[in-house]
């Protein structure tokens, strides 16, 4: 019988010493639509060019889902790859948390739709809206269910079909995004394993007007007027997002390292949200980080929102870029504003 790693935490309310299990990632997987759309392809119907896009973003191409393919479809594909990698049946999953800003519909949740598509008959689930920080938020949330002993197997998915909410007449935003999904399985760590070590999560609602989609919710319900005003598309103030993203990701990454008495040199792989190569490089410079430590795939997939970090992690595992006992640090920044970091040790 496996012995599980535990750590102690004081209950802030009563001062009682709690014994909690540690959570670890035991499997990863990702899925990307087959259709590749290059910058030159976009230039055929958008006033742009490969040079203009690449110089400003680092993007060369992106994947676009076919019409009728929804977020739950991408999420289910990524989830199935996780199950195959772990060698378990979907019926063993206790909980599904799906991070997304492009759910199939308002309700039911896309997590419920994924549950049905993969046959996870025992699982409950919910969607989490954290924009580009959604996966980090969801991973931290899922870890709590493992740590408390409430669940044994938690599936965490980051998936978005961002092209479904893009205005292809707005070259400032339509060139930035793509579609994709990544997923991980969380289970209890065994004795001697650290797994998920720590996380820091933040939000600042005063930044809400810099990156948002105004139409479709309770404030501006769908109507002829909201459609005519193009309110169902992404709206972004790029300069303000850039400024806050660089500072936010760098500072919270440094904060979590200091809190855990680690140096940037201790990190084998830094996985930043893939929004813009300039943002990634600026954060790297602030952290004094070598490029060999950083996961970058924005050139291939653009910004898949909640999908970027798990897709990067999955590719790193596939290429054996991380090995057992390596420290991995994730950092994100997104609409809200939301931002966060999560530190873990790869135990597989």
Q: 269-315, pLDDT tens digit by residue?
A: 999 999 999 999 999 999 999 999 999 999 999 999 999 999 999 99
Q: Is position 116 annotated as part of the catalytic site?
A: no
DSSP calls for 95-157: EEEEE-SS-SSSSS-HHHHHHHHHT-TT-EEEEE--GGGHHHHHHHHHHHHHHTTS-S-EEEE
What are the φ and ψ backbone dihedral angles of 231, each rounded to 5 degrees? Answer: -85, 0
Q: Is position 288 annotated as part of the catalytic site?
A: no
Mean pLDDT to the nearest integer, 255-275: 97
What predicted TM-score, i.e. pTM, was given to this entire model? 0.94
Tokens of 190: 């065994």
pLDDT of residue 325: 97
pLDDT of residue 19: 58
User: d(Cα 293, Cα 253) in Å, to the nearest integer?
Assistant: 14
Please, what is the angle between helix 277-287 and helix 238-259, to 10°?
Answer: 40
Q: Does pLDDT of 103 surpass 50? A: yes
Q: Which of 30, 174, 203, 303 is catalytic?
A: 303
Closest CA to 57 of 275, 336, 314, 341: 275
Closest CA to 280 of 265, 295, 269: 295
The 10s digit of each residue's pLDDT in 228-255 is: 999 999 999 989 999 999 999 999 999 9
Q: CA-CA distances (angstroms) from residue 242 to 102, 137, 277?
A: 22, 21, 11
pLDDT of residue 348: 87
Share of the chain above pLDDT 70, in %: 95
Q: Does pLDDT of 132 surpass 50? A: yes
Q: Which of 174, 273, 276, 312 is catalytic?
A: 273
The 10s digit of each residue's pLDDT in 160-169 is: 999 999 999 9
Mean pLDDT to the nearest integer, 187-211: 96
Q: Which of 132, 174, 188, 203 is catalytic?
A: 132
Q: Is position 112 annotated as part of the catalytic site?
A: no
User: d(Cα 311, Cα 309) in Å, to the nearest integer?
Assistant: 5
Instruction: Identify the band that residue 21 occupies on the pLDDT scale cut at 50, 70 and 90.
Output: confident
Closest CA to 337 of 156, 135, 201: 201
pLDDT of residue 123: 98
Share of the chain above pLDDT 90, in %: 93
User: d(Cα 146, Cα 127) in Å, to the nearest integer?
Assistant: 18
pLDDT of residue 277: 97
Q: Does pLDDT of 13 surpass 60? A: no
The 10s digit of each residue's pLDDT in 181-191 is: 999 999 999 99
Q: CA-CA distances (angstroms) from residue 126 to 37, 106, 112, 141, 260?
A: 31, 12, 7, 11, 31
Instruction: Identify the band that residue 18 occupies on the pLDDT scale cut at 50, 70 and 90.
Output: low
Tokens of 286: 């602030």
Q: Which helix (H) or strand (E) holds 133?
A: none
Query: Strand, coil or helix: what is 85?
Result: helix
Q: CA-CA distances (angstroms) from residue 166 to 53, 161, 221, 319?
A: 16, 10, 18, 32
Checking DSSP bridges between strand 196-203 and strand 338-345, what pairing results, if any?
A: antiparallel
Closest CA to 211 of 179, 180, 233, 181: 233
Q: Does pLDDT of 139 surpass 70? A: yes
Q: How many CB atoms lie within 10 A of CB 198?
A: 16
Q: By the 8 A CB rule, do 88 and 153 touch? A: yes
Mean pLDDT to the nearest integer, 194-204: 97
The 10s digit of each residue's pLDDT in 314-343 is: 999 999 999 999 999 999 999 999 999 999
Cis-peptide, bond into residue 88, ω within 30° of zero: no
Q: Does pLDDT of 1 surpass 50? A: no
Instruction: Identify the band that residue 11 occupies on the pLDDT scale cut at 50, 70 and 90.
Output: low
Tokens of 138: 């969801």
Q: Does pLDDT of 12 surpass 90? A: no
């Amino acid at each position: 019988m496996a012995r599980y790693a535990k750590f102690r935490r004081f209950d802030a309310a009563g001062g009682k010493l709690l014994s909690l299990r540690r959570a670890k990632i035991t499997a990863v997987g990702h899925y990307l639509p087959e259709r590749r759309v290059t910058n030159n392809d976009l230039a055929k119907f958008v006033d742009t060019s490969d040079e203009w896009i690449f110089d400003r973003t680092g993007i060369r191409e992106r994947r676009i889902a076919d019409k009728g393919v929804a977020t739950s479809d991408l999420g289910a594909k990524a989830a199935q790859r996780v199950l195959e990698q772990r060698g378990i049946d979907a019926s063993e999953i206790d909980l599904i948390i799906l991070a997304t800003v492009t759910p199939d519909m308002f309700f039911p949740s896309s997590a419920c739709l994924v549950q049905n598509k993969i046959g996870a008959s025992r699982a409950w689930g919910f969607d989490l809206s954290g924009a580009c920080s959604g996966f980090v938020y969801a991973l931290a949330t899922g870890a709590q269910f493992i740590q408390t002993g409430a669940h044994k197997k938690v599936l965490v998915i980051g998936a978005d079909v961002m092209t479904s909410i893009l205005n292809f007449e707005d070259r400032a935003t339509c060139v930035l995004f793509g579609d994709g999904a990544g997923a991980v399985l969380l289970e209890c760590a065994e004795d001697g394993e650290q797994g998920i070590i720590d996380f820091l999560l933040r939000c600042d609602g005063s930044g809400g007007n810099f990156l948002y989609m105004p139409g479709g919710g309770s404030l501006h319900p769908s109507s002829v007027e909201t459609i005519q005003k193009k309110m169902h598309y992404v709206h972004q103030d790029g300069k303000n997002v850039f400024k806050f993203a660089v500072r936010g990701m760098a500072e919270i990454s440094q904060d979590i390292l200091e809190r855990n008495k680690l140096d940037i040199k201790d990190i084998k792989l830094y996985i930043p949200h893939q929004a813009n190569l300039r943002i990634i490089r600026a954060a790297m410079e602030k952290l004094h980080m070598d490029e060999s430590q950083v996961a970058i795939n924005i050139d291939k997939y653009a910004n898949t929102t909640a999908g970027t970090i798990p897709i990067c992690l999955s590719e790193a595992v596939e290429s054996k870029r991380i090995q057992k006992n390596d420290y991995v640090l994730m950092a994100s920044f997104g609409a809200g504003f939301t931002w966060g970091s999560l530190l873990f040790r790869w135990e597989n």
